């Protein structure tokens, strides 16, 4: 058990965004569970969820750490989990592939330090704008004005950075978006967000403006490309499309198109029928060659069809479904 724990800690240590700090206690608790906990009726839910702990944070569709905490608390107190938890874990499904985890994990280490250089070809556009901004008298005056009105150091994090409020996809707004002028911090946040809006900033690091970059980010549902409004975008020259496609396709993306889709759908339908027939044959006590021949006859395959083709179809069903779901 100790070896398993050390292996899990090593895996966690390779992930970005302070994952060791946040998730180590959960690993300690999981591996410290008594043997009796393995008999808990919801232990399987915990095992399935625990595997997500080692998935890069960018691919977490929900707060996995919070989910595991909830499951551990229920199991440690020998209580059943809420029935809806089983539905949640079912929808989470299997963890992403090792290829996807490795690619996104490497990308996260770059994102953590704001490094998009391997995905961006036109670095000179950012460099020019950043240099121009740092020498603009109007920017310096605005920053001085902001510091005169607020105790700016109070709002810096441990790295000396103040970040603006995050924007969300499709113009949805985060909690706390509603205008508030009741506290000094609320006033500062509103003013700072407006300041960042004016100068297209991600935030401020000490006295240095953090100009918004052309960036590529992975989310649980897709790949997001952000083009700052100051950027004169050239779709052919500004991005390293081969590197972006490599990152995007690491998550089991397959060829798609008008000609391919009907074939995928036909294969999916045949695999679904094969599974139903296979289950029916098994329930009726059929085995081996008799089961193979009966299922292939139901599928209206020729009598000389090799049974290995049926085996491949039954195994391929998951792959075909995955291809269809990703379209």
Q: Is residue 72 part of a domain?
A: yes
List the domain range (segments joined by +) for residue 283: 260-325
Tens of pLDDT, residues 109-146: 999 888 888 899 999 999 999 999 989 999 999 999 99
Looking at the fold, whether 7 and 59 belong to one and the same domain comes out as yes
Q: Is residue 239 part of a domain?
A: no
Looking at the fold, whether 90 and 145 belong to one and the same domain comes out as no
- Residue 223's pLDDT is 94
Q: Is residue 35 part of a domain?
A: yes
DSSP states along 119-151: GBS-HHHHHHHHHHHHT-HHHHHHHHHHHHHS-
- Residue 13's pLDDT is 92
- Whether residue 323 is predicted with pLDDT greater than 50 in this model: the reply is no
| pTM for this model (two decimals) | 0.72
Structural tokens at position 78:
């020998």
Structural tokens at position 326:
């990703």
Residue at which a domain ends, from 146, 179, 213: 213
> What gap in Å lies between CA 242 and CA 244, rounded to an integer?
5
Residue at which a domain ends, from 95, 112, 131: 95
Contact between 157 and 206 under an 8 Å Cβ cutoff? The reply is no
- Can you list the positions of beta strands (E) in the chain? 161-163, 201-205, 208-211, 215-219, 222-226
Q: Is residue 61 part of a domain?
A: yes
CA 202, 56, 97, 10 dihedral sign is: positive
Looking at the fold, whether 206 and 134 belong to one and the same domain comes out as yes
Tens of pLDDT, residues 139-189: 999 999 999 999 999 999 999 999 999 888 888 887 778 899 999 999 999
Task: Please tell me the total count of domains within the chain.
Answer: 3
Q: Is residue 110 part of a domain?
A: no
- Whether residue 316 is predicted with pLDDT greater than 90 in this model: the reply is no
Average pLDDT (72-80) is 94
Looking at the fold, whether 146 and 84 belong to one and the same domain comes out as no
Looking at the fold, whether 19 and 81 belong to one and the same domain comes out as yes
> What gap in Å lies between CA 148 and CA 81, rounded to an integer?
53
- Residue 294's pLDDT is 92
Please report which confidence band the pLDDT of residue 314 belongs to, taking 50, 70 and 90 as the band edges: confident
Looking at the fold, whether 204 and 131 belong to one and the same domain comes out as yes
Looking at the fold, whether 9 and 70 belong to one and the same domain comes out as yes
Looking at the fold, whether 90 and 6 belong to one and the same domain comes out as yes
- Residue 322's pLDDT is 43
């Amino acid at each position: 058990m100790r070896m398993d724990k050390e292996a899990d800690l090593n895996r966690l240590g390779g992930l970005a965004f302070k994952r060791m700090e946040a998730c180590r206690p959960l690993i300690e608790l999981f591996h410290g569970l008594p043997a009796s906990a393995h008999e808990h009726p919801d232990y399987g839910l915990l095992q399935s969820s625990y595997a997500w702990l080692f998935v890069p944070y960018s691919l977490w569709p929900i707060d996995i750490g919070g989910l595991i905490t909830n499951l551990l608390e229920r199991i440690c107190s020998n209580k059943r989990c809420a029935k809806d938890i089983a539905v949640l874990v079912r929808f989470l499904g299997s963890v992403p592939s090792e290829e996807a985890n490795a690619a996104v994990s490497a990308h996260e280490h770059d994102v953590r330090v704001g490094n998009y250089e391997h995905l961006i070809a036109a670095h000179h556009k950012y460099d020019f704008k950043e240099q121009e901004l740092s020498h603009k008298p109007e920017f310096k005056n605005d920053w001085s004005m902001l510091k005169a009105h607020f105790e700016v150091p109070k709002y810096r994090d441990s790295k000396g950075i103040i970040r603006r409020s995050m924007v969300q996809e499709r113009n949805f707004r985060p909690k706390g978006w509603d205008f508030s002028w009741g506290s000094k911090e609320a006033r500062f946040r509103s003013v700072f967000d407006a300041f960042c809006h004016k100068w297209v900033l991600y935030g401020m690091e000490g006295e240095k403006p953090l100009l918004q970059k052309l960036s590529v980010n992975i989310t649980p549902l897709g790949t997001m490309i952000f083009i700052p409004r100051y950027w004169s975008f050239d779709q052919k020259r500004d991005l390293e499309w081969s590197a972006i496609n490599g990152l995007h396709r690491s998550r089991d993306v397959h060829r798609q198109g008008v000609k391919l889709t009907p074939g995928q759908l036909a294969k999916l339908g045949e695999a679904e029928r094969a599974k139903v027939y296979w289950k029916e044959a098994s329930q009726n006590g059929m085995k081996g060659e008799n089961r193979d021949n009966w299922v292939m006859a139901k599928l209206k395959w020729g009598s000389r069809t090799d049974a290995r083709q049926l085996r491949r179809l039954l195994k391929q069903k998951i792959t075909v479904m995955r291809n269809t779901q990703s379209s």
